[in-house]
Amino acid sequence: MEQGLGEFGERRAIVLAYVNCMWGECGMASQEFFQPLWNGRNLYEPVLARIVEVADETPDVKTFTLELDGGAIDYLPGQFAEVSVFGVGEAPFGISSSPTWTKRTGYIQVTVRAIGRVTNALHRLKVGDYVGVRAPLGNGFPVEHAEGKRVIIVGGGIGLPPLRSLLNYMLDNRERFGKITVLYGARTPADRVYKGELEEWERREDLEYLDTVDIADEEWQRLGKRVGVVTTLFPILDEQSPIDPPNTVAFVCGPPIMIHFVIIELEKRNVPDENIISTLERHMKCGVGKCGHCAIGHKYVCTDGPVFSWAEMKELEWMCAEPAV
């Protein structure tokens, strides 16, 4: 959160909170907390945002470009937004645009799969319609941790939006990072999001891009492209650009089952637990650590996450005696 504050830093306030505890140190303790980072006076008041573009990614995924009332916001790749369709509800989405792009254009983007009430209502909206936004929320990716290192980005299906934000941020700051590899797996070619951008990544010289689908269509077969789950890309990697474990940071997003198997592959190649970075998904309501829905162990995915290292996830699992992924 701290890094993301930027120009909003002055809104931070220190108060004295009354601490009453059973374990020794009782009395007054200073506690730091944040005012909403968006314009709302109230923590739950969204800022209005106008939809300036809707792009179809797949039959059930759309990318919305939003113009926020009160101007652009500063955020980190991996942070998310609570988007409201008034009268229907609010739901969390990873911000899929990069902060560098937002600086240039003033807009933010979210990529949404229609799956329930809010997401279907969002899909029915058109350019010019308004939504509410509370953002940025969550911790974001530890980009400094990856500086100067080899970066491996592994995405599965609709898990790509936060990784797209990260990748575009890295490409805009290319000199700060080592070799970048993107591994992307989707169920079918039609299920791939950001198809235009994928082609561009494939063409780029400063980026290694490998993709695969579980089930090919005719076009895919004709082009002779790879078929198989995303973990089948690892042996290819071993041949063409082997992983140097301590100097590699991997970012993994996708369905839990995919995350699980990708982590196994990374562990096999001795990537340290602290360097395997992933996101946890939980049912969320408030996005600000109050409603309790996203809690796992003593952490709230909305404020302590959604980004966690594999080391942190393991610790969490032990502490709360339940699986995290």
Token pair for 243: 């992983």
The span from the CA of 65 to the CA of 110, in Å, is 7
Token pair for 93: 């989405």
Give which of ligand FAD, ligand FES, another protein, none residue 161 binds (C-beta under 5 to 8 Å, depending on kind): ligand FAD
257-to-231, 232, 260 alpha-carbon distances in Å: 11, 15, 5
Give which of ligand FAD, another protein, ligand FES, none residue 130 binds (C-beta under 5 to 8 Å, depending on kind): another protein
The span from the CA of 275 to the CA of 159, in Å, is 19
Considering only the stretches 44-52, 127-135, 208-216, 282-290, report the one whose residues sit in contact with ligand FES under the rule CB under 6 A: 282-290
Q: Quote the least distance from Cβ 153 to another protein, whole Å.
A: 23
Considering only the stretches 28-36, 243-251, 286-294, 310-318, report the one whose residues sit in contact with ligand FES under the rule CB under 6 A: 286-294
- Residues 6+ positions from 243 with CB-CB distance below 8 Å: 150, 152, 237, 266, 269, 271
DSSP labels for 170-187? HHHTGGGS--EEEEEEES
- Residues 6+ positions from 20 with CB-CB distance below 8 Å: 26
Contact 112, 123 (CB under 8 A): yes
DSSP labels for 71-137? ------TT-EEEEEETTTEEEEEEB-S-HHHHHHHSEEEEEEE--SHHHHHHHH--TT-EEEEEEEE
Residue from 117, 174, 268, 290 binding ligand FES (CB under 6 A)? 290
User: For ligand FES, what does the binding mask look like between residues 298 and 317, x meaning CB under 6 A?
Assistant: --x-x---------------
Residue from 198, 207, 266, 284 binding ligand FES (CB under 6 A)? 284
Give which of ligand FAD, another protein, ligand FES, none residue 80 binds (C-beta under 5 to 8 Å, depending on kind): ligand FAD
Which residues sit at the interface with ligand FAD, rule CB under 6 A? 80, 89, 91-94, 111-113, 115-119, 158, 161, 281-285, 306
Question: Measured from the CB atom, is 81 or 230 closer to ligand FES?
Answer: 81
Residue from 40, 256, 272, 289 binding ligand FES (CB under 6 A)? 289
Asked if 33 interacts with ligand FES (CB under 6 A), we say no
Q: Quote the least distance from Cβ 43 to ligand FAD, whole Å.
A: 16
| Contact residues for ligand FES, defined by CB under 6 A | 284-287, 289-294, 300, 302
